[in-house]
Amino acid sequence: NAGVTQTPKFQVLKTGQSMTLQCAQDMNHEYMSWYRQDPGMGLRLIHYSVGAGITDQGEVPNGYNVSRSTTEDFPLRLLSAAPSQTSVYFCATHGDRGADYEQYFGPGTRLTVT
Amino acid sequence: DAKTTQPTSMDCAEGRAANLPCNHSTISGNEYVYWYRQIHSQGPQYIIHGLKNNETNEMASLIITEDRKSSTLILPHATLRDTAVYYCIVRGFGRGSTLGRLYFGRGTQLTVWP
């Protein structure tokens, strides 16, 4: 049981390039989210999904796309990378147990855009 | 979701109790208080949550005031490995688009010294 996995762990992009950050979970959770964390800051929600085929925007969605075709996977796509997207990206997941749930976070992807 | 206010930093001697305060004066009746921590640049880790009663688990205790406008996370015997950023988060429950959203502030940097 790997929990939440993210790939790659590190990535360097040039401005204008596109890429996809991968997130996978083997916990059979409905809910998955993407956050970014800039230096010295808390996490900010980018996009989230309440189940396969359903996604919605968080606080900072611009420049990112998501899709959820399976329960297990929730990829985050950067359409045209910008230096402002240099950050650490965390994927998280949790189940549906009403009010009592905890989010499980992946180890993060450290992205640098030059 | 209600906003929270936490001190920027605190320190604590190893072996002593660490008491981390959080103000959430605008909390509403159906909102829970959650605590997460983030060690170095790892993904955040769930600690504990509560509604109005005090809660205790193997990691910590959560004390919520009677008016629910503030709470305190207690690490009873802090160790060096408890050095981390601690986030206090208030959120509601129930199905729908808000489920899965966690709004992180900057948290409290707790430093445990030998």
b/e burial code for range A53-90 (CB count within 10 A of at least 16 → b): eebbebebbeebebebeebbebbbebeebeeebbbbbb
Q: Is B53 exposed, middle or buried (0-12, 13-18, 19+ CB in 10 A)?
A: exposed
pLDDT for B94 equals 54
How high is the pLDDT of residue B28?
84
pLDDT greater than 50 at residue B26: yes
Our CA-based measurement puts residue A108 at a distance from the nearest CA of chain B, in whole angstroms, of 6
The answer to whether residue B47 scores a pLDDT higher than 60 is yes
- Report the DSSP pairing between strands B9-13 and B108-113: parallel
CA-to-CA dists, residue A100 to A39, B5, B58, B62, angstroms: 30, 23, 17, 15
Show which residues on chain B lie within 8 Å of chain A, measured between beta carbons.
32, 34, 36, 41-46, 49, 51, 87, 93-95, 97, 99-107
Per CB-CB distance under 8 Å, the chain A contacts of B104 are 35, 42-44
pLDDT at residue B99, rounded to an integer: 54
| Lowest pLDDT segment from A25-29, A109-113, B9-13, B97-101 | B97-101
Q: Which two tokens stand for residue A89?
A: 């990206």
Question: Sorting pLDDT into bands at 50, 70 and 90, what band is B10?
Answer: very high
pLDDT bracket for residue A40 (50, 70, 90): confident
Find the mean pLDDT for residues B39-47: 91
> Which residue of B32, B51, B105 is in closest CB contact with A42?
B105
Give A20-31 pLDDT, tens digit per residue: 999 999 988 888
